[in-house]
Chains A and B, each alone.
Chain A
């Protein structure tokens, strides 16, 4: 079946630098996407969402970019902080069903 995947399983970032987390999706019919952050022992935490009629959306210190032509999403985190260390998932929603893969583990170096 179709699935959502991430380009890299791990990302190490220096505190204060910007982080870019990439995601590829395969279902061209998907029209809504969510980025989640998951810390150890906790459930996925909603970060930001984007619809397919948008290319970019900004939140607090985060920006999501959507390239429908190549079916690619990215999450940019500005001025990465130690509290940003977590696993990040991009979720694809088709109808009401959400799916995401194994995620990218972001580690922030002091």
Chain B
């Protein structure tokens, strides 16, 4: 595809359930980022992958959050035992050069009931 693809676009789950969010970056982009955007708020950094280097997980808010990137391409963000405060839009971005010209997907709107 031409852009960053995220799925699902919307996810409604019950408190305590696990969810998986998927990101397919732009082909050839070695850098991949996950961010979280709460209603009316700015962006919160979650995790960053660059090539085969160890990811920067410094933004993950708790050990319920984890992410992996397989084969240097598709990434999955997993939230275990979801809480209501996890409700937000989860955005994925990718870039050719780390920290430059990040292109975002449309996000996954997560609602935890």
Contacts and interface: CB of A to CB of B under 8 A. Distances in A.
Chain A complexes with chain B: yes
Interface string A70-93: 000000000000000000010101
Interface stretch (A10-18, A55-63, A100-108): A100-108
A43 B107 contact: yes
Interface residues of A, number: 24
Interface in A28-84: 32, 34, 36, 41-46, 49
B65 interface: no
Contacts, number: 62
B102 A46 contact: yes
B100 interface: yes
Nearest to B95: A96
Chain A interface main SS type:
strand
B34 to A, nearest CB: 12
Contact of B106 (A41, A91, A98): A41
A33 to B, nearest CB: 11
Nearest to A103: B42
B99 A32 contact: yes
10 contacts: A44-B104, A46-B102, A89-B43, A93-B99, A95-B99, A97-B45, A97-B99, A99-B42, A100-B43, A101-B42
Interface of B: 4, 6, 31, 33, 35, 40-43, 45, 48, 50, 56, 59, 91, 93, 98-107
